[in-house]
Chain A
């Protein structure tokens, strides 16, 4: 068998197609893999997961044919359902707002796919993520992608040394525009589709309807209160609300009200005016330090609380190996339990944890 064979995770999209083309051009021995993921049966999506619709499979197959590389589809429906869909249902049912993409990266891409790739003789996998990996002495570091508007390091913050050592992000130092023009140069046909396939397994875009259908027992009506303890109305079940939500709460008030928190223990939805939404503090659990070692002392970093949020200056204080407290320099809105808090120093991603 040849040395250093690379498995490229292909989606049929422009990013992973160009990633494959770049590696091929550099003379690597590569093959393409695509995951078949579970999907809710439905009309709109024809029962197909948006990350691997028949159109994207045939597009990826076409790209593989142009690059003259082997290409295979791997059935990961069971693993995806267990690790991502069930996780999604469980977390929403428990009153927090999960990030399924992160979980998919953790368990499916750097789990099932990595495992299959290695068993097929690959030594590394490559993906079309906008992020970079560099080796700094004996440590591997994850960096933001050069195209700030496309950076995907947030959803990769759960990777560890053994993952990074075996991973390539060939497009991480390019801009999206450059990738499009490279696709053109390589004569690659690429689908005109959205970059992100958020909640790819829903039949439509409505996660609330999904919860109604798949976890009706989690939807128990209860009181809506403001921070002064006044009852303002009835909610339809805590999983149906997210932190920072304004529309569709179902109570009328002279000033707009926002969801501040969900109190699972007494099934209460707490809402109030916007000035109450800000917080300067959070606790994160299940913290992953990409370097493999947690910090002993408090450190300065910028912390990003959502995929699309801006990173904000903060102190990070370790509580133990898996938990930290984050003290922001100023108040920020929409700190949402279940989402990841991801820590950066300049463009280096230090890791992250799940907001408690």
Chain B
């Protein structure tokens, strides 16, 4: 089999073998329900309590401020809906602000709150690099704004927002601040104190943990309304028997990723910068999307004029490279994503986007191979030999 180059770590990452190891016993011998009173239950409860504490240490928060969920999307939903419900009930306001480049888990949720529940939303625009500005945020805050949600790092173009500045402004107005940190987790500091966030979403499968488990950090007393009702797990904020193995997997993955962070980041950054330089130099009519420096270490995203991003992904797949595109859709419906639209790229560029996201195991030869094939594929697609 030919070499396969996985350059789509922003979509998901492989599970770290050590993480798998940590999870396995919890599928077999240690199968207790953490809510049970007997020793089987106690051992399971101990497992998730330890996981919660380990995670709290990374986030520098209290253990009971962490709510385990089934994924990043659920965390986003819980944050927005939970806070909105409460604001409605307590008359704390009717207006929320989200950025224009949020993940659909935020955008669609906000839209539903607007269309079906009578909330007002303001979509905060970004500049051509995808950055939101604290000054702009100030201007859209209204007397009845109760929540601002701005993602830490963007999934398509990797732009990293000035979270602590943004949060400081909302706090001046006594407004809660939520951040979707799903892409940031694993590569950027998650210290909620320094960031100044009141709520923050994380998903394990982006940092070498298992799929189907996430968490919402919610500062004490900010979130009181659950979305999923039932048993009183997770402080009554998220009903349902906890997925013990996956929660332990998430905690293990987070510990490992934080320990390796500095090394991994600097290695990925070097390779990524080499890739960016090569692409921009060897491929005409190409641009780097997102911000040059405020960007995730593993993200290299581009737009190529006159290229169909959807097809570019297919060509690369046939060359054994896994990549992704904000202009692509697996049902063959090329339309620029909300992110590319928000950057106000020309239509010619916005249909030709490519995201290459590196991982901790990406190496020199992977980047070399890409440097070789990418210009060829693009030229071939453009019909210029």
In the bound complex, what is the Cα–Cα distance between A73 and B333 (angstroms)? Answer: 9
B318 interface residue, CB < 8 Å from A?
yes
Binary contact readout B311-331 vs A (1 if CB under 8 angstroms, 0 otherwise): 100110111000000000011
Q: Which residues of chain B come closer than 8 Å to A1, judged between CB atoms? A: 319
In the bound complex, what is the Cα–Cα distance between A120 and B311 (angstroms)? Answer: 9
Q: Which of A31, A34, A54, A61 contacts B318 (CB 8 A)?
A: A31
In the bound complex, what is the Cα–Cα distance between A73 and B317 (angstroms)? Answer: 13
B332 interface residue, CB < 8 Å from A?
yes
Total contacts A to B, CB within 8 angstroms? 37
Q: Which of B311, B331, B333 contacts A116 (CB 8 A)?
A: B311
B298 interface residue, CB < 8 Å from A?
no
Q: Which residues of chain B come closer than 8 Å to A90, judged between CB atoms? A: none
B334 interface residue, CB < 8 Å from A?
yes
Most chain A beta-carbon neighbours within 10 Å: one of B310, B314, B380:
B314
Binary contact readout B294-319 vs A (1 if CB under 8 angstroms, 0 otherwise): 00000000000000001100110111
Q: Which of B319, B334, B380, B381 contacts A75 (CB 8 A)?
A: B334
Q: Which residues of chain A come closer than 8 Å to B310, judged between CB atoms? A: 75
Q: Which residues of chain B come closer than 8 Å to A116, judged between CB atoms? A: 311
Least Cβ distance of B163 to chain A in Å? Answer: 37
In the bound complex, what is the Cα–Cα distance between A36 and B334 (angstroms)? Answer: 11
Q: Which residues of chain B come closer than 8 Å to A120, judged between CB atoms? A: 311, 314-315, 318
Q: Report yes or no: A75 in contact with B314, Cβ–Cβ below 8 A.
A: no
Report the contact-size class of chain B (Cβ under 8 Å from the partner).
10 to 19
Nearest A residue to B317, CB-CB:
A70
Q: Which residues of chain B come closer than 8 Å to A119, judged between CB atoms? A: 311, 380-381
Q: Report yes or no: A73 in contact with B318, Cβ–Cβ below 8 A.
A: no
Q: Report yes or no: A70 in contact with B330, Cβ–Cβ below 8 A.
A: no
Q: Which of B314, B333, B380 contacts A72 (CB 8 A)?
A: B314
Q: Which residues of chain B come closer than 8 Å to A36, judged between CB atoms? A: 331-333
A74 interface residue, CB < 8 Å from B?
yes
Binary contact readout A104-140 vs B (1 if CB under 8 angstroms, 0 otherwise): 0000000000001001110000000000000000000
Given known A119-B380, A119-B381, contact A54–B331 (CB-CB < 8 A): yes
Q: Report yes or no: B330 in contact with A73, Cβ–Cβ below 8 A.
A: yes
SS of B interface (majority): helix
Most chain A beta-carbon neighbours within 10 Å: one of B318, B330, B381:
B318
- Please report which residues of chain B, range 42-95, place their CB below 8 angstroms from some CB of chain A when the two chains form the complex: none
Binary contact readout A298-336 vs B (1 if CB under 8 angstroms, 0 otherwise): 000000000000000000000000000000000000000
Total count of chain A residues near the partner, CB < 8 A: 19
Least Cβ distance of A108 to chain B in Å? Answer: 13
Q: Which residues of chain B come closer than 8 Å to A5, judged between CB atoms? A: 318
Least Cβ distance of A38 to chain B in Å? Answer: 12
Q: Which residues of chain A come closer than 8 Å to B331, judged between CB atoms? A: 36, 54, 57, 73
Nearest B residue to A34, CB-CB:
B332
Q: Which residues of chain B come closer than 8 Å to A74, judged between CB atoms? A: 311, 332
Binary contact readout A54-83 vs B (1 if CB under 8 angstroms, 0 otherwise): 100100010000000010111110000000
Q: Which residues of chain A come closer than 8 Å to B380, judged between CB atoms? A: 119
In the bound complex, what is the Cα–Cα distance between A54 and B330 (angstroms)? Answer: 11
Least Cβ distance of A22 to chain B in Å? Answer: 21
In the bound complex, what is the Cα–Cα distance between A70 and B314 (angstroms)? Answer: 8
Least Cβ distance of A240 to chain B in Å? Answer: 34
In the bound complex, what is the Cα–Cα distance between A35 and B333 (angstroms)? Answer: 11
Q: Which residues of chain B come closer than 8 Å to A70, judged between CB atoms? A: 314, 317-318
In the bound complex, what is the Cα–Cα distance between A74 and B380 (angstroms)? Answer: 18
Nearest A residue to B373, CB-CB:
A1
Binary contact readout A1-28 vs B (1 if CB under 8 angstroms, 0 otherwise): 1000100000000000000000000000
Q: Report yes or no: B315 in contact with A73, Cβ–Cβ below 8 A.
A: no
In the bound complex, what is the Cα–Cα distance between A70 and B316 (angstroms)? Answer: 11
Q: Which residues of chain A come closer than 8 Å to B314, judged between CB atoms? A: 70, 72, 120
Nearest A residue to B376, CB-CB:
A1
Q: Which of A31, A75, A121 contacts B332 (CB 8 A)?
A: A75
- Please report which residues of chain B, range 97-144, place their CB below 8 angstroms from some CB of chain A when the two chains form the complex: none
In the bound complex, what is the Cα–Cα distance between A31 and B319 (angstroms)? Answer: 12
Least Cβ distance of B309 to chain A in Å? Answer: 12
Least Cβ distance of A36 to chain B in Å? Answer: 4
Q: Which residues of chain B come closer than 8 Å to A31, judged between CB atoms? A: 318
Least Cβ distance of B240 to chain A in Å? Answer: 28
Least Cβ distance of B27 to chain A in Å? Answer: 24
In the bound complex, what is the Cα–Cα distance between A69 and B380 (angstroms)? Answer: 23
Least Cβ distance of B379 to chain A in Å? Answer: 12
In order of increasing CB-CB distance, the 5 nearest A-B pairs are A73-B332, A36-B332, A75-B332, A72-B314, A70-B317
15 sampled A-B residue pairs with Cβ under 8 A: A1-B319, A5-B318, A31-B318, A35-B332, A57-B331, A61-B330, A70-B314, A73-B331, A73-B332, A74-B311, A75-B332, A75-B333, A76-B332, A119-B381, A120-B314
